[in-house]
A and B are shown apart, each in its own frame.
Chain A
Amino acid sequence: MRGEARRLLRDGRALAGAGMLTLAVLAAVLAPLLAGDPIAQGDIVATRFLPPLTTDPHGGFHLLGTDRFGRDVWARLVYGARISLGVGALATGISVVVGMAVGAAAGYWRGWLGAALLGLTDFALALPRVVLLLLLASLWQPSAGLVIVVLGLTGWMTIARLVHAEVRALAGRPFVESAAGLGARDLRILLRHILPNALTPVIVAAALGLGNAILLEAGLSFLGLGVQPPTPSWGNLIASGRDTLINAPWVATAPGVALVLVVVAATLLGDAVRDRLDPGRV
């Protein structure tokens, strides 16, 4: 496994993707060390709408400038990373668990259960995800928790399909049959013998799903239906910069660039892992 990881890092895309993601996670984790308070409003008149790389009259340096309340954009960006990355990661976690459970069950117990689960997967795939998210956000109070659950429960289908295909292919293999012959129970066979061998495509799908979940969280928060201000998330940061595009374009630009870089990083990493698994397709 370690040798595999080293080979992977020789791929420029994997290196760039892993590097950018690590930087983003570090910035999120170390936010209190890297920046001041993201919410506090000080001397608004003197510090609002300062362009990037300026020092305010009180001696505070603003790498990415300030917004209309004089809040430091860099501080809001790194604290927003905590929400955006955290929500994305947790939602992807839920998708992976649900997707693996549905895919494994459908692939292992064929017959009515498998058919029903596959039907459910196809149905869920045909739904416009954002429309469903909006519907749920309108029925319940918007919060980070709701966004995590909803994104998680609407993002498992690709993983379920991949796991289903892998499990079907693996279920007839000799090592599985011999485990069954030795008297292992179904659940043990699935968890110990089949799923570990079906993990790799799941990692690829999870990397791509992570980027997607981060984008969708930002989208919901942008519309005011996700994480609520003053808690910073990259989505509501973009929304707050929307009204000041003319006089302070940096407020909306910075979180957008961060968003693109993180999603590009997740995509590059996913691509590199996939190509390693499937060398026929470079």
Chain B
Amino acid sequence: MLSGLGVVLGVVTLMFALIRLAPGDPALLLVGPAATEEQLAAQRHALGLDRPITAQYATWLGRFARGDWGTSIATGRPVRTMLAQAWPATVRLVGLSLVLSYLIGIAVGVVQAARGGRLDTALSVASVTLFALPGYWLGLMLVMVFTYRLRLLPAFGASGLDADFLPPAARLADRLRHLALPLATLTLVGIGGTARFVRGAMLDVAGEPYVAVARSKGLSETRVTLRHVLRNALIPVVTLLGLSLPALFSGAVFIEAIFAWPGVGRVLVEAVQARDYPVVMAATAVSAVLVVLGNLLAEALVSWVDPRAR
């Protein structure tokens, strides 16, 4: 919990330092190149840039902690409202993809470790390829096939334009259809990494003495694999789940940008492209908070799976 707060504090501090380091005087940007020295000084004073750096930092921290993130330069809307509307979409996409890619990835890894042979080799090739796929490219390829060729699934946004006028059942179907391609993209890329890791963890555990004992007790091979090998192999897998959250979130940034999914990632990318600093700062901080919360969740899961960690 404390270390999580430390990470968020660190991110906010890092952003403060980076803005100070970056080229370009924000006051100059606001007043324009034709401004006089006095106008520039007045603008610097208004922005608080003439105060000592420690005081500026304290104000910065205070504003962040209160959620006072200013207004977007590009849209004129309060940054807080923009992000409040965006984060549930990201959590939905990343959360669902996390669950699906771990369930499928674990299943694939278990089959590989338990069966071995040709099937293992074939699945290894498949998982390395998935692992190497850039999400934004896979997304484009899926759009090419399912949207442009087969005309089956929509490729933009989280719901259709007419979503608000549909009956509940049709509205749900519309949402699911919009979710299909971004979720499939993010999940497919995730499966590769998970399957590779689970296979390795299973093979590590398979050599342990207690597995030999379980087998010598005459337990069936399925029972040995699921109860003795998988159960213990899951401990590092759950730890990986927490560690992989930043990467998953990073992947979601690209996917949201491709599919115009209305989440934090898309807000961030659009803000970066428009040089909309207040939004960039706040979106960075929010993504750090989401990652930290996910890590806490993973820690709780580890202690649930592994009694020794309690």
Which A residues form the contact surface with B (CB < 8 A)?
Answer: 122-123, 125-132, 134-140, 211, 215, 218-219, 222-225, 238, 241-242, 245-246, 249, 252-253, 256, 259-260, 263-264, 267-268, 271, 280-282
Tell me whether B304 is interfacial, beta carbon within 8 Å.
Answer: no
**Contact A137 B134, beta carbon cutoff 8 Å:** no
Within 8 Å CB of A224, what residues of B? 273
Tell me if B143 and A264 are in contact (CB < 8 A).
no
Which B residues are in CB contact (< 8 Å) with A138?
271-272, 275, 277, 280
- Chain A residues near B19 (CB-CB < 8 A): 139
Q: Given the complex of chains A and B, what is the CA–CA distance between A223 and B131 in angstroms?
A: 21
B4 nearest CB neighbor, chain A only: A126
The reply to whether B7 and A129 contact each other, CB–CB distance below 8 Å, is no
Contacts A136-B18, A256-B140 given; 6 further ones with Cβ under 8 A? Answer: A128-B291, A130-B250, A132-B284, A134-B280, A138-B272, A218-B134
- With both beta carbons as reference points, the residue of chain A lying nearest to B134 in the complex is identified as A215
Give the contacts of B189-209 with A (CB-CB under 8 A).
Answer: 200, 203-204, 207
Residue of A nearest to B131 (CB): A267
Set of chain A residues within 8 Å of B83, measured between Cβ atoms: none
Which residues from A are CB-within-8-Å of B243?
125
Distance A33 CA – B295 CA, assembled complex (angstroms): 50
A98 to B5, CA, bound (A): 26
What residues of B have a CB within 8 angstroms of the CB of A211 in the complex? 132
A282 surroundings in chain B (CB, below 8 A): 203
Assuming the A-B contacts A267-B132, A281-B203, are A127 and B246 also in contact, with contact meaning beta carbons closer than 8 angstroms in the complex?
yes
- Per-residue CB contact flags for chain B residues 271-298 toward chain A (1 = under 8 Å, else 0) read 1110101001101100110011001000
Task: Tell me the bound Cα distance from A137 to B23 in angstroms.
Answer: 12
Total residue contacts A-B, CB cutoff 8 A? 131
A139-B19, A245-B144 known; A222-B203 Cβ under 8 A: no
A238 B280 Cβ-Cβ under 8 A: no
Residues B268 and A131 in contact, CB atoms below 8 Å apart: yes
Q: Are A127 and B6 in contact (CB under 8 A)?
A: no
6 contacts between A and B (CB under 8 A): A131-B283, A135-B272, A135-B281, A281-B200, A281-B203, A281-B204
Residues of B within 8 A of A264 (CB): 128-129, 132
CB distance from A221 to the nearest CB of B (A): 11
Are B207 and A280 within 8 A (Cβ)? yes
At the interface, yes or no: B22 with Cβ under 8 Å from chain A? Answer: yes
Interface residues on B, range: 35 or more
Task: List, in ascending order, chain B residues with CB within 8 A of A139's CB.
Answer: 18-19, 21-22
Q: Contact between A245 and B140 (Cβ–Cβ < 8 Å)? A: yes
Q: Are A123 and B203 in contact, with the CB atoms below 8 A? A: no
Are B287 and A131 in touch, CB under 8 angstroms?
yes
A260 CA to B3 CA, complexed, in Å: 36
Which residues of chain A have C-beta atoms less than 8 A from B67's C-beta? Answer: none
Q: Which residue of chain B is the closest to A241 with respect to CB atoms?
A: B140
Q: B291 to chain A: which residues have CB within 8 Å?
A: 126-128
Residue in A140, A218, A225, A249 whose CB lies within 8 Å of B23:
A140
Of the residues B7, B22, B23, contact of A126 by C-beta under 8 Å: B7
Q: Mark B154-181, 1 if CB is under 8 A from A, else 0.
A: 0000000000000000000000000000
**Residue pair A137, B272 in contact (C-beta under 8 Å):** yes
- Closest 10 pairs between A and B when the two form their complex, measured CB to CB: A130-B250, A263-B132, A139-B22, A256-B137, A138-B272, A128-B246, A264-B132, A128-B249, A126-B7, A245-B144
Who on chain B is nearest to A249 by CB? B144
**CA A218 to CA B140, docked complex, whole Å:** 14
- Pick the contact of A260: B133, B246, B268 (CB < 8 A): B133
- CB–CB A267/B280 < 8 A: no
A249 to B225, CA, bound (A): 45
Most buried by A among B7, B11, B132, B268: B132
Judge whether B136 is part of the interface by a CB distance below 8 angstroms: yes
What are the residues of chain B within 8 A of A140 when measuring CB–CB?
A: 22-23
Smallest Cβ-Cβ distance to B279: which chain A residue? A138
Partner of B140, one of A129, A137, A223, A252: A252
CB-CB < 8 A to B253: which residues of A?
128, 130-131, 134
- The chain B residue sitting closest to A212, CB to CB, is B247
- Quick check: B134 and A135 within 8 Å, CB to CB? no
Q: Mark B245-257, 1 if CB is under 8 A from A, else 0.
A: 0110111011001
B148 part of interface (Cβ distance < 8 Å): yes
Chain A residue nearest to B18 (CB atoms) is A139
* Contact, CB under 8 Å: A123 / B268: no
Contact call A123/B6, Cβ cutoff below 8 A:
yes
What is the chain A residue whose CB lies nearest that of B10?
A: A123
Q: Which residues of A contact B18 (CB under 8 A)?
A: 135-136, 139
Chain B's closest residue to A136 (CB) is: B18
What residues of chain A lie closer than 8 Å to B137, measured between beta carbons? Answer: 238, 252, 256, 259-260
